[in-house]
Amino acid sequence: MKMFHMTLPGHEEATLDGYILDCDLTLGQYARRPAIVVCPGGGYVYCSRAEGEPVAMAYAARGFHTFVLRYSTGHDAVGFAPLQEISWVIGYIREHAEEWSIDPDKIVSCGFSAGGHLALSSGLLAENKPNAMILGYPAASAPHFPGANFMLKLLTGKQEVTQEDAAPFDLVPQITKEAPPVFLAATAQDMLTSFGALPIAQKYCALGLDYELHIFNHGPHGYSLANEASSDGSSRYMNAAFAHWHELSVAWLHKIFGELKYEDKDNSKMVKYLKELGISLDR
Protein backbone atom coordinates (compact mmCIF):
# COMPACT_ATOMS: atom_id res chain seq x y z
CA MET A 1 0.00 0.00 0.00
CA LYS A 2 1.18 3.48 -0.85
CA MET A 3 0.04 6.21 1.54
CA PHE A 4 0.20 9.96 1.30
CA HIS A 5 -0.97 13.00 3.25
CA MET A 6 -1.49 16.39 1.65
CA THR A 7 -3.07 19.78 2.27
CA LEU A 8 -5.54 20.89 -0.39
CA PRO A 9 -4.30 23.83 -2.49
CA GLY A 10 -5.86 27.08 -1.33
CA HIS A 11 -7.59 25.35 1.60
CA GLU A 12 -5.08 25.16 4.44
CA GLU A 13 -7.55 23.58 6.86
CA ALA A 14 -8.46 20.70 4.53
CA THR A 15 -6.35 17.56 4.13
CA LEU A 16 -6.45 14.39 2.07
CA ASP A 17 -5.06 11.01 3.10
CA GLY A 18 -4.65 8.45 0.34
CA TYR A 19 -4.38 4.67 0.67
CA ILE A 20 -3.40 3.25 -2.71
CA LEU A 21 -3.31 -0.54 -2.95
CA ASP A 22 -0.59 -2.33 -4.89
CA CYS A 23 -2.01 -3.39 -8.23
CA ASP A 24 0.80 -5.20 -10.01
CA LEU A 25 0.16 -8.51 -11.75
CA THR A 26 1.32 -10.57 -8.80
CA LEU A 27 -2.04 -9.88 -7.20
CA GLY A 28 -3.60 -11.88 -9.99
CA GLN A 29 -6.39 -9.42 -10.67
CA TYR A 30 -7.16 -6.63 -13.04
CA ALA A 31 -5.15 -3.56 -12.16
CA ARG A 32 -7.74 -0.79 -12.20
CA ARG A 33 -9.96 -0.64 -9.14
CA PRO A 34 -12.71 1.65 -7.85
CA ALA A 35 -11.82 4.41 -5.38
CA ILE A 36 -13.80 5.61 -2.36
CA VAL A 37 -13.54 9.11 -0.88
CA VAL A 38 -14.60 9.03 2.79
CA CYS A 39 -16.06 12.19 4.33
CA PRO A 40 -16.35 11.96 8.15
CA GLY A 41 -19.24 13.57 9.97
CA GLY A 42 -19.16 16.15 12.74
CA GLY A 43 -21.81 18.75 11.94
CA TYR A 44 -19.31 20.79 9.90
CA VAL A 45 -17.80 21.67 13.30
CA TYR A 46 -15.08 19.00 13.15
CA CYS A 47 -14.27 15.76 11.32
CA SER A 48 -14.90 12.60 13.32
CA ARG A 49 -11.94 10.25 13.59
CA ALA A 50 -14.26 7.25 13.96
CA GLU A 51 -15.85 7.92 10.56
CA GLY A 52 -12.59 8.48 8.70
CA GLU A 53 -9.65 6.09 8.67
CA PRO A 54 -11.51 3.05 10.13
CA VAL A 55 -14.00 3.23 7.25
CA ALA A 56 -11.24 3.70 4.69
CA MET A 57 -9.35 0.68 6.04
CA ALA A 58 -12.49 -1.47 5.93
CA TYR A 59 -12.98 -0.70 2.24
CA ALA A 60 -9.26 -1.11 1.52
CA ALA A 61 -9.47 -4.60 3.02
CA ARG A 62 -12.11 -5.40 0.40
CA GLY A 63 -9.92 -4.27 -2.50
CA PHE A 64 -10.83 -0.61 -2.97
CA HIS A 65 -8.43 2.31 -3.15
CA THR A 66 -9.50 4.73 -0.43
CA PHE A 67 -9.10 8.36 0.52
CA VAL A 68 -10.12 10.32 3.61
CA LEU A 69 -11.06 13.97 3.10
CA ARG A 70 -10.88 16.06 6.24
CA TYR A 71 -12.67 19.04 4.81
CA SER A 72 -12.80 22.59 6.18
CA THR A 73 -14.98 22.93 9.27
CA GLY A 74 -16.09 25.66 11.67
CA HIS A 75 -15.79 29.16 10.28
CA ASP A 76 -13.53 27.81 7.50
CA ALA A 77 -16.58 26.05 6.01
CA VAL A 78 -18.20 29.36 5.02
CA GLY A 79 -19.35 29.59 1.42
CA PHE A 80 -19.69 25.79 1.43
CA ALA A 81 -15.91 25.40 1.07
CA PRO A 82 -16.20 21.62 1.70
CA LEU A 83 -18.11 21.23 -1.59
CA GLN A 84 -15.27 22.93 -3.48
CA GLU A 85 -12.84 20.63 -1.69
CA ILE A 86 -14.52 17.32 -2.46
CA SER A 87 -14.99 18.40 -6.09
CA TRP A 88 -11.26 19.16 -6.29
CA VAL A 89 -10.40 15.80 -4.70
CA ILE A 90 -12.54 13.83 -7.16
CA GLY A 91 -10.94 15.70 -10.05
CA TYR A 92 -7.48 15.12 -8.57
CA ILE A 93 -8.10 11.40 -8.29
CA ARG A 94 -9.25 11.22 -11.91
CA GLU A 95 -6.13 13.11 -13.02
CA HIS A 96 -3.98 10.48 -11.26
CA ALA A 97 -6.16 7.49 -12.17
CA GLU A 98 -3.62 5.86 -14.46
CA GLU A 99 -0.74 6.39 -12.03
CA TRP A 100 -2.73 4.95 -9.11
CA SER A 101 -4.46 2.15 -11.06
CA ILE A 102 -7.91 3.66 -10.47
CA ASP A 103 -10.88 3.35 -12.78
CA PRO A 104 -11.85 7.02 -13.28
CA ASP A 105 -15.47 5.99 -13.93
CA LYS A 106 -15.76 4.17 -10.59
CA ILE A 107 -15.22 6.85 -7.95
CA VAL A 108 -17.49 6.84 -4.89
CA SER A 109 -18.20 9.57 -2.36
CA CYS A 110 -18.94 8.08 1.08
CA GLY A 111 -20.06 10.18 4.02
CA PHE A 112 -21.70 10.09 7.43
CA SER A 113 -24.06 12.64 8.99
CA ALA A 114 -22.73 16.05 7.84
CA GLY A 115 -20.22 14.09 5.74
CA GLY A 116 -23.24 12.37 4.19
CA HIS A 117 -24.64 15.79 3.37
CA LEU A 118 -21.30 16.62 1.72
CA ALA A 119 -21.07 13.30 -0.15
CA LEU A 120 -24.60 13.75 -1.52
CA SER A 121 -23.84 17.38 -2.40
CA SER A 122 -20.88 16.16 -4.45
CA GLY A 123 -23.15 13.93 -6.52
CA LEU A 124 -25.73 16.66 -7.10
CA LEU A 125 -23.87 19.98 -7.11
CA ALA A 126 -20.12 19.52 -7.60
CA GLU A 127 -18.27 20.28 -10.81
CA ASN A 128 -16.50 16.92 -10.51
CA LYS A 129 -19.14 14.39 -9.52
CA PRO A 130 -18.69 10.84 -8.18
CA ASN A 131 -20.09 7.83 -10.01
CA ALA A 132 -21.88 6.52 -6.92
CA MET A 133 -22.52 7.53 -3.31
CA ILE A 134 -22.64 5.72 0.03
CA LEU A 135 -24.44 7.67 2.77
CA GLY A 136 -24.58 6.74 6.45
CA TYR A 137 -27.36 8.47 8.43
CA PRO A 138 -26.97 11.56 6.21
CA ALA A 139 -27.97 15.08 7.30
CA ALA A 140 -29.28 15.64 3.81
CA SER A 141 -32.25 17.91 4.52
CA ALA A 142 -30.16 20.51 6.31
CA PRO A 143 -32.93 22.95 7.29
CA HIS A 144 -35.27 20.26 8.64
CA PHE A 145 -33.56 18.33 11.42
CA PRO A 146 -32.58 19.16 15.03
CA GLY A 147 -29.29 21.05 15.18
CA ALA A 148 -29.35 22.07 11.52
CA ASN A 149 -29.31 25.77 12.35
CA PHE A 150 -25.70 25.81 13.55
CA MET A 151 -24.61 23.94 10.40
CA LEU A 152 -26.34 26.52 8.23
CA LYS A 153 -24.74 29.37 10.17
CA LEU A 154 -21.31 27.90 9.49
CA LEU A 155 -21.94 27.19 5.80
CA THR A 156 -23.53 30.56 5.08
CA GLY A 157 -21.45 32.68 7.47
CA LYS A 158 -24.64 34.31 8.75
CA GLN A 159 -25.99 34.48 12.29
CA GLU A 160 -29.56 34.82 11.04
CA VAL A 161 -30.32 32.26 8.34
CA THR A 162 -33.41 32.82 6.21
CA GLN A 163 -35.33 30.18 4.27
CA GLU A 164 -33.76 31.57 1.12
CA ASP A 165 -30.29 31.15 2.64
CA ALA A 166 -31.08 27.57 3.69
CA ALA A 167 -32.62 26.41 0.42
CA PRO A 168 -29.34 25.54 -1.41
CA PHE A 169 -28.42 23.13 1.42
CA ASP A 170 -31.73 21.26 1.32
CA LEU A 171 -30.63 18.49 -1.01
CA VAL A 172 -33.66 16.28 -1.54
CA PRO A 173 -35.47 18.81 -3.78
CA GLN A 174 -32.29 19.03 -5.86
CA ILE A 175 -32.18 15.32 -6.73
CA THR A 176 -32.73 14.91 -10.47
CA LYS A 177 -32.60 12.03 -12.95
CA GLU A 178 -28.87 12.75 -13.39
CA ALA A 179 -28.09 11.86 -9.76
CA PRO A 180 -25.59 9.00 -9.29
CA PRO A 181 -26.68 5.69 -7.73
CA VAL A 182 -26.86 5.83 -3.93
CA PHE A 183 -26.60 3.37 -1.03
CA LEU A 184 -28.20 4.47 2.25
CA ALA A 185 -27.95 3.13 5.81
CA ALA A 186 -29.52 4.51 8.99
CA THR A 187 -31.30 3.47 12.19
CA ALA A 188 -34.91 4.04 13.20
CA GLN A 189 -33.86 5.32 16.62
CA ASP A 190 -31.57 8.02 15.23
CA MET A 191 -33.53 11.17 16.00
CA LEU A 192 -30.74 13.61 15.10
CA THR A 193 -31.06 13.34 11.33
CA SER A 194 -34.79 12.54 11.40
CA PHE A 195 -34.69 9.73 8.87
CA GLY A 196 -32.44 11.71 6.55
CA ALA A 197 -32.00 8.60 4.40
CA LEU A 198 -35.71 7.97 3.86
CA PRO A 199 -36.66 11.09 1.84
CA ILE A 200 -33.62 10.54 -0.37
CA ALA A 201 -34.77 6.99 -1.12
CA GLN A 202 -38.33 8.20 -1.75
CA LYS A 203 -37.11 10.78 -4.26
CA TYR A 204 -34.88 8.22 -5.99
CA CYS A 205 -37.80 5.80 -6.15
CA ALA A 206 -40.09 8.46 -7.62
CA LEU A 207 -37.51 9.25 -10.31
CA GLY A 208 -36.79 5.60 -11.08
CA LEU A 209 -33.13 5.91 -10.05
CA ASP A 210 -30.80 3.22 -8.73
CA TYR A 211 -30.71 3.14 -4.91
CA GLU A 212 -30.54 0.76 -1.99
CA LEU A 213 -31.90 1.63 1.47
CA HIS A 214 -31.27 -0.14 4.78
CA ILE A 215 -32.91 1.12 7.97
CA PHE A 216 -31.95 -0.88 11.04
CA ASN A 217 -34.10 -0.65 14.15
CA HIS A 218 -31.79 0.00 17.09
CA GLY A 219 -29.00 2.47 17.65
CA PRO A 220 -28.07 6.11 18.09
CA HIS A 221 -26.60 8.59 15.65
CA GLY A 222 -22.92 8.18 14.73
CA TYR A 223 -22.40 4.41 14.53
CA SER A 224 -19.77 4.48 11.76
CA LEU A 225 -18.77 0.80 11.27
CA ALA A 226 -20.51 -0.12 14.55
CA ASN A 227 -17.63 -2.42 15.52
CA GLU A 228 -14.40 -2.34 17.51
CA ALA A 229 -12.50 -0.47 14.81
CA SER A 230 -14.68 2.63 15.05
CA SER A 231 -16.26 2.46 18.52
CA ASP A 232 -13.56 4.60 20.21
CA GLY A 233 -13.73 2.26 23.20
CA SER A 234 -17.46 2.71 23.77
CA SER A 235 -19.87 -0.24 23.62
CA ARG A 236 -22.61 2.29 22.86
CA TYR A 237 -21.24 2.55 19.33
CA MET A 238 -21.07 -1.19 18.66
CA ASN A 239 -24.01 -3.00 17.10
CA ALA A 240 -23.62 -6.30 15.27
CA ALA A 241 -26.82 -5.78 13.28
CA PHE A 242 -25.97 -2.29 11.99
CA ALA A 243 -22.38 -3.39 11.28
CA HIS A 244 -23.77 -5.40 8.34
CA TRP A 245 -24.27 -2.16 6.38
CA HIS A 246 -20.62 -2.22 5.29
CA GLU A 247 -20.75 -5.70 3.76
CA LEU A 248 -24.07 -4.80 2.15
CA SER A 249 -22.49 -1.68 0.63
CA VAL A 250 -19.63 -3.74 -0.81
CA ALA A 251 -22.12 -6.12 -2.43
CA TRP A 252 -23.98 -3.10 -3.80
CA LEU A 253 -20.77 -1.63 -5.26
CA HIS A 254 -20.07 -4.96 -6.94
CA LYS A 255 -23.56 -4.82 -8.44
CA ILE A 256 -23.05 -1.24 -9.65
CA PHE A 257 -19.45 -1.53 -10.87
CA GLY A 258 -18.92 -5.26 -11.30
CA GLU A 259 -16.81 -7.49 -9.07
CA LEU A 260 -13.02 -7.47 -9.04
CA LYS A 261 -11.77 -10.14 -11.43
CA TYR A 262 -9.19 -12.71 -10.44
CA GLU A 263 -7.01 -14.98 -12.55
CA ASP A 264 -6.25 -18.56 -11.55
CA LYS A 265 -2.50 -18.67 -11.98
CA ASP A 266 0.60 -19.21 -9.90
CA ASN A 267 1.91 -15.85 -8.76
CA SER A 268 4.46 -17.16 -6.27
CA LYS A 269 7.47 -14.87 -6.08
CA MET A 270 9.30 -17.61 -4.18
CA VAL A 271 9.21 -19.85 -7.28
CA LYS A 272 10.51 -17.00 -9.41
CA TYR A 273 13.40 -16.20 -7.06
CA LEU A 274 14.38 -19.87 -6.63
CA LYS A 275 14.57 -20.26 -10.40
CA GLU A 276 16.75 -17.15 -10.63
CA LEU A 277 19.08 -18.75 -8.06
CA GLY A 278 19.23 -21.93 -10.14
CA ILE A 279 17.42 -24.02 -7.53
CA SER A 280 15.12 -26.66 -8.96
CA LEU A 281 11.82 -27.49 -7.28
CA ASP A 282 11.68 -30.89 -8.95
CA ARG A 283 12.32 -33.89 -6.72
Cα 124 to Cα 219: distance, rounded to the nearest angstrom: 29
Give the pTM: 0.89
Phi, psi for 151 (deg, rounded to 5): -60, -45
Domain spans, the chain: 2-276
Q: How are the residues of the chain apportioned to helix, strand and coil, as percentages rounded to the nearest 5? A: 35, 20, 40
Q: Which of 14, 1, 7 has the alpha carbon at shortest distance from 65?
A: 1
Q: What is the pLDDT along the chain (283 residues), one digit of tens a residue?
A: 899 999 999 998 999 999 999 876 555 455 789 999 999 999 899 999 988 999 999 999 999 999 999 999 999 999 999 999 999 999 999 999 999 999 999 999 999 999 999 999 999 999 999 999 999 999 887 666 666 778 888 888 988 888 898 889 999 999 999 999 999 999 887 767 656 899 999 999 999 999 999 998 877 776 777 776 666 666 666 667 788 999 999 999 999 998 876 665 555 666 777 778 878 766 5
Q: In what order do the strands lie in the sheet with 65-70?
A: 2-8, 11-20, 65-70, 33-39, 102-112, 132-136, 182-187, 211-216
CATH 3.40.50.150, applies to 2-276: no
Cα 250 to Cα 256: distance, rounded to the nearest angstrom: 10
Cα 226 to Cα 249: distance, rounded to the nearest angstrom: 14
